[in-house]
Amino acid sequence: MSQDLGRDGADRTGPADQAGPDDRPGAAPDDGLLTLTAGPVAHGGHVVARVGDAPDGRVVFVRHALPGEVVRVRLTDAGEGRSFWRGEAVEVLEASPHRVQPPCPYAHPGGCGGCDLQHVELTEQRRLKAAVVTEQLVRLGGVDPEQVLGGPVVVQALPEPGRAPGEETGLGWRTRVRYAVDRSGHPGFHRHRSHDVVPVTRCPQVTDAVDAVGVTRLPWPGVSGVQVSSGDDGAVVRAEHGPRRTRLPRVDALGLVGGTEDRPERVAGRTWVRHDVPGAGRLRVGVDGFWQAHATAAETFVAHVRRHAGVRPGDTVLDLYAGAGLFTVALAGDLGDAGELVAVESDRGAVADLRRNVHAAPAVRVVHDRVERALRGSDVPAAADVVVLDPPRAGARSAVVSAVVARGPRAVVLVACDPASLGRDTALLQERGYRLRALEAMDAFPMTHHVECVALFTPEAPA
């Protein structure tokens, strides 16, 4: 019995497209449909399939499928000049035992592009993410994590509020969310690789506190996007619109912010929320500031970073890409008054939050600059005992890694939100004499392909 996953009305009753000697491997079928056997999971929420049985058959990256499944694939991005195609599994002919019914009604081919693993049971999601992290470390980083770390990569579940360990659902964890808004003023999310908006009434990923604000149940004419940022004391809403004033609806929140992307304007109430983080204390974060979306990610990451950093009183510590100061505040508490901690951040809003959050930490000095430029200047010490990096998705890259290693730290703690970037930065550190010693992979974005890692690197022992 096949399972029809599509909601686009396409005819699924025609014969299967079996690649063979008479097929045209460089051209997509006229109806845009192929029957393929899904191969291994790939970075980005896809599985790898090939047209035909030949090992060099054209690669198709397929969403909404699982390794080993036989699926009917609608091509979404195909052409003779492309090195690979993209597609969505719109019908399952042979299902994986790990396939489940997506808990969200918007998670289907042609639907919301935010969650790419809702069709996979939760424990299998983590196993697939672990396989991706492993593959990127081997292929890009040049290290076998099982040999280096003494065991396979395991993606850990993060605690969910109100649930015991082992009872996680993968839902209701998101404390910060940005909705796109369609031309009619309805909030929703973009389709995969599209600017089209899928209107939603309730996203099962958000916490009850975010949903209670009621953004998805209000009209937002003239607005391009609405963000809800919740903390331990409530939520703030940020509505982005053009330079002309737009009448915004009332919301049940601590504050409402309007204006353009570059020039936010307070409409009512506050522009920030508070977060109480074990190990770091109380932090203030602006509605546009960076903060981990998962309700328990901040405290979990702080625990891992502090353990790996091993900061001692009197140390010189660098916190690069410091954001609002989550790790800065935590490490400053370990440092005491005898050492120095330099926090580097380029975003103006984040620096404002950072300065407020470290005002009671005399050992902290804030540098408002791009990390790569700051490391070339005199504001950052030429030597450091510990360096913590939490770079954007692209990773730290060569210039930053070289400048970090030149300072001779005994520990480099890398927080990576992208397995490919983790692999590339691992290779750069390895080339410069720093070895991977520990790794925590965390399921900070359940139901999606995203995974967060905290990695420890230390200098190679002299021969």
Q: Note the pLDDT tens digit of each residue in 178-208.
A: 999 999 999 999 999 999 999 999 999 999 9
Residue 355 lies in a domain: no
**Of the residues 231, 256, 273, the one at which a domain ends:** 273
Cβ-Cβ contacts under 8 Å for 448 (sequence gap 6 or more): 45, 114, 115, 116, 117
Residue 415 lies in a domain: no
Out of 104, 112, 203, 417, the active site residue is 417
Mean pLDDT, residues 285-306: 95
Structural domain boundaries, residue 193: 176-273
**Of the residues 81, 99, 117, the one at which a domain ends:** 99
Q: Say what the pLDDT of residue 243 is.
A: 85
> What's the one-letter identity of residue 98?
H
91 and 182 together in one domain? no
Q: How many domains does the chain have?
A: 2
Annotated binding site: 292, 321, 345, 390
Residue 3 lies in a domain: yes
Active site (annotated) includes residue 115: no
Q: Say what the pLDDT of residue 244 is.
A: 84
Annotated binding site for S-adenosyl-L-methionine: 292, 321, 345, 390
Q: Say what the pLDDT of residue 15 is.
A: 30
Q: Percentage of the chain surpassing pLDDT 90?
A: 84
Cβ-Cβ contacts under 8 Å for 98 (sequence gap 6 or more): 66, 120, 121, 124
| CA separation for the pair 66, 46 (Å, rounded) | 8
Residue 171 lies in a domain: no
Residue 120 lies in a domain: no
Closest C-alpha to 308, from 282, 289, 327, 288: 327
Q: Note the pLDDT tens digit of each residue in 29-83.
A: 777 799 999 999 999 999 999 997 666 788 999 999 999 999 999 999 987 778 8
Output the domain CATH number for residue 81. 2.40.50.140
Cβ-Cβ contacts under 8 Å for 183 (sequence gap 6 or more): none
Residue 338 lies in a domain: no
| CA separation for the pair 454, 305 (Å, rounded) | 7
Residue 261 lies in a domain: yes
**Of the residues 228, 255, 273, the one at which a domain ends:** 273
Residue 224 lies in a domain: yes
Q: Say what the pLDDT of residue 13 is.
A: 28
